[in-house]
Structure 1
């Protein structure tokens, strides 16, 4: 309980488990259900993506997130944003560390895809983990 962690640790926690190499999960979300496309195309909508990423002690298994915007036709638009992974040195042997990134929603974006990959590097189980993935959109 003394290691860095989200205050509500474990409420949205994902763990690699017994995968031989990597565990992945993804979600595609239609932004137009909550954001009018006009502000996006006028370049006044930004995003903030954050998560707690890590592994156990000095283990090198790791979690990372790829964040991609898509057009209505599911074509990639803009750059893919990467959050993590974090190394044992980045974590200073803590289990989880907080990471965040901000950016602009590209013109033509109507959907986004979050892809989480938890990769086993060593050991007999994939104990890389991610907790409390959060994504916020806001206007300039």
Structure 2
């Protein structure tokens, strides 16, 4: 089960290309994101464009700011097969996944980073996904799956997710993201 809150953009206001003032589960650091319905028109991804097979009705977009950034801080479990003792013994692996994309041949894009931190907030490890370039998307409006897996670093107590949308040209920030997930798996003894 994913530890990310609202990684699928289904909660809260939105549905249009208009910027939103809040995104449940995320804190807006910069810019003005949009939460857009698939099939809205105007060049936004349609339900039949490449993207997650199990997509909901909405996705994140960069809005109209040159750079938009959202952050989510996640506490790692204290107990259980993926809890602190297992993390400190090096027995927990993580997978971070995001569907990232953009519009046609434009280079607007989205990038997701997952930074593992200790109890004091000191960074211990970093995974960066994306952006999905126009070449990777085949010059199409599409979202492409990006995944990173590794061991959770011993001493990690939390993860900071940073979702950044960057406009490469035009007036709209057509970086897109959906299906953001962070899962943990304990190693078998």
- TM (norm. structure 1) is 0.91
Aligned: 1:72 with 2:142? no
2:139 aligned residue: 93
Residue 12 of structure 1: how far off its partner (Å):
5.7
Number of residue pairs aligned between Structure 1 and Structure 2: 138
**Following superposition of structure 1 onto structure 2, how do residues 1-140 of structure 1 map, counting pairs within 5 Å?**
1-11=47-57, 13-19=59-65, 21-33=66-78, 35-77=82-124, 79-94=125-140, 95-140=142-187
Partners of 1:124 and 1:76 in 2: how far apart? 35
Residue 93 of structure 1: how far off its partner (Å):
2.2
- 5+ residue gaps in structure 2? 1-46
- How big is each residue's C-alpha offset from its partner over 1:22-61, in whole Å with a ceiling of 9 and x where there is no partner? 1000111111356420000110100011111010111110
Partners of 1:89 and 1:81 in 2: how far apart? 22
- TM (norm. structure 2) is 0.69
Partners of 1:32 and 1:9 in 2: how far apart? 27
Name the structure where strand makes up a greater proportion of residues. Answer: 1
Partners of 2:165 and 2:75 in 1: how far apart? 25
Name the structure where helix makes up a greater proportion of residues. Answer: 1
- How big is each residue's C-alpha offset from its partner over 1:44-90, in whole Å with a ceiling of 9 and x where there is no partner? 1000111110101111100001110111111111x211011111001
Partners of 2:84 and 2:171 in 1: how far apart? 47
Superposition RMSD in Å: 1.5
Partners of 1:12 and 1:27 in 2: how far apart? 19
Secondary structure of 2:77's counterpart equals helix
Partners of 2:135 and 2:174 in 1: how far apart? 17
Secondary structure of 1:106's counterpart equals coil
Secondary structure of 2:136's counterpart equals helix
